[in-house]
């Protein structure tokens, strides 16, 4: 929470309807500054929908979302968002630095060019993901791990109080996963709130301060050790039986 006790993120009684179908229903989640929270659930559980609702890109059918006590407004609220890599057009002829600077467009507007302060933020963000030496390289020439680091830098250029990560480790090699995992932990320790959707259960259980189990609503939240010790919660979230390999994974970690 901030100095006056307001959480960095508050999702309260939120329901979201897409195409006439409820994707999220009566969903509650609060995240404080300094926390790294893993959002875990099966495909189609509404994880990405929840992130887009937090961003203000989707309007809830019920309930409301606040960031630092204020309603989220696209481009105006200090929220950094790292989408899944396939959502970005990597063939576009643009440099790494300009991709990172594009994350500031919502704040600057389409007609205003980045100034000295914005380029300083871009440089700082590239340094955090260890991409400074590739700032002038066309993004089409990057590897998958490098592309993911560019998307993280683009979100960090906003210097956000809340960072949302949608499956940030998918398809990455182990060194890149470790680099980003360490970065996300550091960002939380620096006082940001970090929310990460992931299918990497072992990594989430080891690195996250809290886990939120989601399947169209938040079924449970808690510290990883407590949730891992309660197989009934995971069975309810993933719709699996007591003999599931998922539960064996939980016991192993």
Q: How does strand 79-82 pair with strand 162-166?
A: parallel
Question: In which order are the strands placed within the sheet that holds 9-18?
Answer: 21-31, 9-18, 62-67, 70-71
d(CA 146, CA 176): 8
Phi-psi region of 42 (alpha: psi -120 to 50; beta: other; left: phi over 0): beta
246, containing H or E segment: helix 245-252
Q: Are 192 and 162 in contact (CB under 8 A)?
A: yes
d(CA 87, CA 30): 27
Residue 112 is predicted with a pLDDT of 60
Buried b (16+ CB within 10 A) or exposed e, 199-210: ebbebbbebbbb
Query: Domains along the chain?
Result: 1-78+161-253 (3.40.50.300), 88-159 (no CATH)
pTM over 0.95: no
Give mean pLDDT in consecutive 10-residue pieces for the chain, a chain of 253 residues. 76 94 96 97 95 92 92 77 82 90 70 74 95 94 92 93 94 91 95 94 91 97 93 94 87 76
């Amino acid at each position: 929470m901030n100095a006056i006790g307001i959480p960095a993120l508050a999702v309260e009684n939120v329901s979201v309807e897409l195409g006439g179908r409820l994707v999220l229903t009566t969903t509650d989640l609060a995240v404080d500054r300094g926390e790294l929270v893993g959002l875990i659930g099966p495909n189609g559980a509404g994880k990405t929908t929840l992130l887009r609702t937090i961003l203000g890109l989707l309007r809830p059918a019920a309930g409301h979302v606040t960031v630092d006590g204020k309603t989220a407004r696209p481009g105006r609220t200090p929220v950094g968002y790292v989408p899944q890599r396939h959502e970005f057009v990597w063939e576009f002829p643009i440099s790494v630095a300009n991709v990172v600077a594009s994350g500031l467009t919502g704040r600057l507007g389409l007609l205003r060019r980045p100034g000295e302060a914005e380029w300083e933020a871009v440089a700082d963000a590239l340094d955090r993901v260890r991409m400074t030496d590739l700032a002038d390289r066309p993004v089409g020439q990057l590897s998958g791990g490098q592309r993911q680091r560019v998307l993280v830098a683009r979100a960090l250029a906003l210097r956000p109080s809340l960072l949302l990560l949608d499956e940030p480790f998918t398809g990455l090699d182990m060194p890149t996963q470790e680099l980003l995992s360490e970065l996300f932990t550091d960002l939380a320790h620096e006082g940001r709130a970090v929310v990460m959707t992931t299918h990497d259960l072992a990594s989430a259980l080891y690195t996250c301060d809290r886990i939120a189990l989601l399947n169209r609503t938040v079924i449970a939240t808690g510290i990883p050790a407590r949730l891992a010790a309660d197989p009934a919660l995971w069975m309810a979230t993933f719709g699996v039986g007591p003999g599931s390999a998922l539960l064996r994974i939980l016991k192993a970690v």
